[in-house]
Amino acid sequence: MRAVQYDHFGSAPTIVELPDPAAPADGVVVRVAATGVCRSDWHAWKGHDDSVRLPHVPGHEFAGVVTAVGADVTRVSVGDRVTAPFVFACGTCGECRAGATQVCTRQEQPGFTLPGSWAESLVVPHADVNVVALPDAVGFAAAAALGCRFGTAYHALHERARVSSGEQVAVFGCGGVGLSAITVAVAAGARVVAVDISPAALERAAALGADVVPMDDQAVDTVRDLTGGGAHVALDAYGSRATSAASVRSLRPRGRHVQVGLLLDDEAAPVIPMGRVIADELELLGSHGISIGEYAAMIADVVAGRLRPEESIGLTIGFEDLPSALASMDRPAATAGMTVAVW
């Protein structure tokens, strides 16, 4: 099979021929039809994730068709249209038994601990736990977006932030996660204020229904003014010292900050205004991926048209474009929204 692979961190990825994978007893093989290009893939390529072993095939957002099924699998059949979250859960640890598969203590992740979805096929272990069936109404490109960025936004706002209709939501960073968060929050009946440095990203955010604010020294004051004294929920979808602190400062009393964007390297230790956290009884919430149990409601919203993950896709490319797409992430994005490869 064809796959994108890099042999050294930061070296040019290339398209190579690898053996076709075989299904383990508890797993399935999925023929990939679409896969996302995510900032997390770039972090892995740069060596920021110590779980990655070289040579490596990136990619963790995917959708496709099952081509092989292990002997112990009972819920999945050859020919099924499927996707999966980027956390492959074990199904048996305490967190999994409690329904929190997104924080499984024995989790594996395609594109990080396992070969990823930038290949014509990949293996999904513990398939009866991790595989999600796709209705025909959900296309492969939209489904690939659900596994990481859109699903992450859905979990962050519904499960972690407990967003409700009529609330004010501030989103800092309008990349794939941020644009997805805008879509999810608007569908929940919230009013959204979106903050970013990129005019193109803000234009895309406005098209999704957000009021937009440039990220500058006045951004927090502007958000607080627009939300009548502060947001009920603020989400850092970018991941930096500046955006995490601004997100917290933009909240009203008893507001909820959700940290979704990864804080790595020099950004790993943000200065949080803890005096405000105490005085205003703010909640600081981490959010990681999405649980298997949340997929049914999310997909039902997609089928009903209440959520449109395809609106968060900014660029569609082919398999052959994946190596250059990864390398291009060294530079500011030329297109707002997610990049998804379809073949």
Whether residues 194 and 294 fall in one domain? no
Q: Give a yes or no: residue 19 inside a domain.
A: yes
186 in Cβ contact with 157 (< 8 Å):
no
Alpha carbon distance 133, 131 (integer Å): 7
Whether residues 118 and 234 fall in one domain? no
**How many domains, in total, are found in the chain?**
2
Whether residues 143 and 206 fall in one domain? no
Confidence bin at 264 (pLDDT 50/70/90):
confident
Q: Give a yes or no: residue 139 inside a domain.
A: yes
Q: Give a yes or no: residue 326 inside a domain.
A: yes
* CA 27 to chain CA mean position, Å: 23
Whether residues 243 and 326 fall in one domain? no
Alpha carbon distance 153, 145 (integer Å): 11
Report which of 91, 83, 53, 54 is spatially closest to residue 66, judged by C-alpha positions.
83
Q: Which of 238, 271, 286 is the last residue of a domain?
A: 286
Whether residues 249 and 337 fall in one domain? no
Whether residues 305 and 280 fall in one domain? no
Where in the sequence is the domain holding 245, given as residue range(s)?
162-286
In whole numbers, what is the pLDDT of the chain averaged over residues?
Answer: 95
Q: Which of 286, 304, 334 is the last residue of a domain?
A: 286
Q: pLDDT tens across 159-199, in order? A: 999 999 999 999 999 999 999 999 999 999 999 999 999 99
- Cβ count within 10 A of residue 269: 8
301: CATH: 3.90.180.10
> Residue 166 class from Cβ within 10 Å (0-12 exposed, 13-18 middle, 19+ buried)?
exposed
Q: What is the pLDDT of residue 71?
A: 98
Q: Give a yes or no: residue 223 inside a domain.
A: yes
CB within 8 A of 81, min separation 6: which ones?
63, 64, 65, 133, 134, 135, 136, 140
Half-sphere exposure of 71 (CA within 13 A, CB side): 1
Q: Quote the percentage of the chain above a pLDDT of 90.
A: 89
Alpha carbon distance 323, 169 (integer Å): 36
Q: pLDDT tens across 148-157, in order? A: 899 999 999 9
Phi, psi of 299 (to 5 degrees): -65, -35
- Cβ count within 10 A of residue 78: 12
Q: Give a yes or no: residue 157 inside a domain.
A: no
186: CATH: 3.40.50.720
Q: Which of 242, 268, 286 is the last residue of a domain?
A: 286
Bridging pattern class, strands 62-69 and 28-37: antiparallel
pTM: 0.94
Alpha carbon distance 181, 172 (integer Å): 10
Alpha carbon distance 333, 286 (integer Å): 26
Q: pLDDT tens across 268-280, in order? A: 788 899 999 999 9
Whether residues 110 and 123 fall in one domain? yes
Whether residues 135 and 67 fall in one domain? yes
Whether residues 50 and 92 fall in one domain? yes
Which carries the bigger pLDDT value, residue 310 or residue 218? 218
Question: Is the C-alpha dihedral spanning 94, 96, 97, 100 positive or negative?
Answer: positive
Question: Is the C-alpha dihedral spanning 269, 273, 278, 282 positive or negative?
Answer: negative
Confidence bin at 252 (pLDDT 50/70/90):
very high
Q: Give a yes or no: residue 297 inside a domain.
A: yes
Whether residues 57 and 84 fall in one domain? yes
Whether residues 204 and 337 fall in one domain? no
